[in-house]
Amino acid sequence: MTVPEVLKATVRIGATPAEVFPYFVDPVLMIQWIGEWADLCPEPGGLFALDFAKTPVRGQYLEVEPPRRVVFTWGVAGKDSLPPGSTTVEVTLTEDGPDTVVQLVHHDLPTEEFDGHLKGWTSMLDLLAHLHTGPQPGEAATDLRRPAPGGHA
Amino acid sequence: MSAARAGARVGSPDRGDAADAVLRALADPHRRQILRLVRGGELAAGQIASHFDATQQAVSHHLQVLARAGLVRERRVGARRLYALDPQALDPVREMLAELWPSALERLKYVVEQDQKNKPADPTRAGRKQ
């Protein structure tokens, strides 16, 4: 069974790296694109705390080099399977003409045999379950038994 | 911010439904335990039930949920039902996971570019109109 060891994503944005960079270090800007609440201390060793799809994502900044590079750790508070600090997200901003190319690599995701994989991914899966169904106001974080709202195909 | 909420949905409906069934099946610790038991090879329902305090009926229910999600394959041999892990069922979930960051970055692009558009003209960049 192949499991991705890393997740990669790239996007081209019509702005300079200096304009894009704050969206990775300023909590007010960050929650515009990921998460509902953030507490960020963007310096090496500083806190990275993001509530995302009702999941408390916790870690710390490892590298903060405006406006080209930011690295932070990513785990889930209270989950042995993906503890805070257990995985690393590396973001590189490269200027290309009037645009910025953002490259993101999520390292160190659990990849072992099935058991480790299953346990390791469960926290990420919980998070995905909420992204997929769309967070509902007042919905219990662990209630996955609720029928899919709407039922539209 | 409803646009961002809508953007948070990942995966197509079909693949999403398949992934949803898998996620629901995985959400229960007993069912995860069953998957660990059957990943090494086929086990009979009774052998699986012997690992749990729960009634055979309850274990049977968990096995049905796992089978419906495609996580286990059921095979009948005489009166016995044998179960084995089918790890391919995790594929749709893995694909959803692979879309997590790309969809987040698409929202980032949208937000940054909107903010740039709405930003008052910066005289040091745009030149002054006087």
Show Cβ contacts of residue A149 under 8 Å, excluding neighbours closer than 6 positions.
A133, A134, A136
The verdict on residue B84 lying in a domain is yes
Question: Does the distance separating the beta carbons of A145 and B5 come in below 8 Å?
Answer: no
CA distance A46 to chain B (A): 22
B96 within domain boundaries: yes
In this structure, is residue B129 part of a structural domain? no
The DSSP secondary structure of A88-140, one letter per residue, reads: EEEEEEEEETTEEEEEEEEE----SSHHHHHHHHHHHHHHHHHHHH---TT--
The pLDDT of residue A122: 56
Query: What pLDDT score does B68 carry?
Result: 93
**How many structural domains compose chain B?**
1
A76 close to B (CB below 8 A): no
CATH of domain A7-133: 3.30.530.20
Identify whether B71 is part of a domain. Answer: yes
Q: Do B5 and A132 touch (CB under 8 A)?
A: no
The answer to whether A35 contacts chain B (CB < 8 Å) is no
Q: Which pLDDT belongs to residue A8? A: 84
Closest residue of chain B to A153, computed from CA coordinates: B13
With 50 as the cut, is the pLDDT of residue A141 above it? no
Q: What is the mean pLDDT of residues A134-141?
A: 39
Q: Do A132 and B97 touch (CB under 8 A)?
A: no
Chosen for mutation from B66, B108, B116, B117 (greatest number of chain A CBs closer than 10 Å) is B108
* CB B96, CB B11: distance < 8 Å: yes
User: pLDDT tens digit string along A17-29?
Assistant: 999 999 999 999 9
**How many Cβ contacts (< 8 angstroms) between chains A and B?**
125
The pLDDT value given to residue B54:
86
**Predicted local distance difference test score (pLDDT) of residue A129:** 53
Looking at the partner chain, which of A7, A20, A32 has a beta carbon nearest the beta carbon of B101?
A7
Specify the pLDDT at position A25.
97
Contact at CB, A114 and B102, closer than 8 angstroms: no
- Give residue limits of the domains in chain A: 7-133
The CATH number given to whatever domain includes residue B85 is 1.10.10.10
Note the pLDDT tens digit of each residue in A55-89. 788 999 999 999 999 999 988 787 665 678 878 99
At A116, the pLDDT band (50, 70, 90 cuts) reads: very low
CA dist., res. B81 & res. B59, Å (int) = 13
When CB atoms are compared, the residue of A125, A135, A152 closest to B23 is A125
DSSP string, B15-53: HHHHHHHHHHHHTSHHHHHHHHHHTTS-EEHHHHHTT-S
Nearest CA in chain B to A30: B108
Does the distance separating the beta carbons of A7 and B32 come in below 8 Å? no
Q: Which residue has the higher pLDDT, A4 or A38?
A: A38
Q: pLDDT per position in chain B (130 positions), as tens? A: 433 333 334 444 455 567 777 877 877 778 888 988 888 789 999 999 999 998 889 999 999 999 999 999 999 999 999 999 887 887 777 676 677 888 899 999 999 999 999 987 765 554 444 4
Can you give the residue range of the structural domain that contains B59?
A: 13-118
Most confident of A80-84, A98-102, A117-121: A98-102
* More confident: A4 or B108: B108
Q: Give exposure, B97-114, as e/b (b: 16+ Cβ within 10 Å).
A: bebbbebbbebbbbbbee
Q: Give CA separation, A151 vs A147, B13, B83, B117, in Å.
A: 8, 10, 31, 36
Q: Residue B124: its pLDDT value, please?
A: 59
Q: What is the pLDDT of residue A11?
A: 95
Chain B contact for A97 (CB, 8 A cutoff): no
Q: Is residue B94 part of a domain?
A: yes
pLDDT tier at A52, thresholds 50, 70, 90: confident
Stretch 105-144 of chain A: residues touching chain B, C-beta under 8 Å: 106, 114-115, 118-119, 121-122, 124-129, 131-135, 142, 144
Average pLDDT along chain A: 76
Contact A128 B19 (CB under 8 A): yes
Instruction: Supply the pLDDT for residue B6.
Output: 38
pLDDT score recorded for residue B35: 86
Q: What percent of chain A has pLDDT over 70?
A: 65
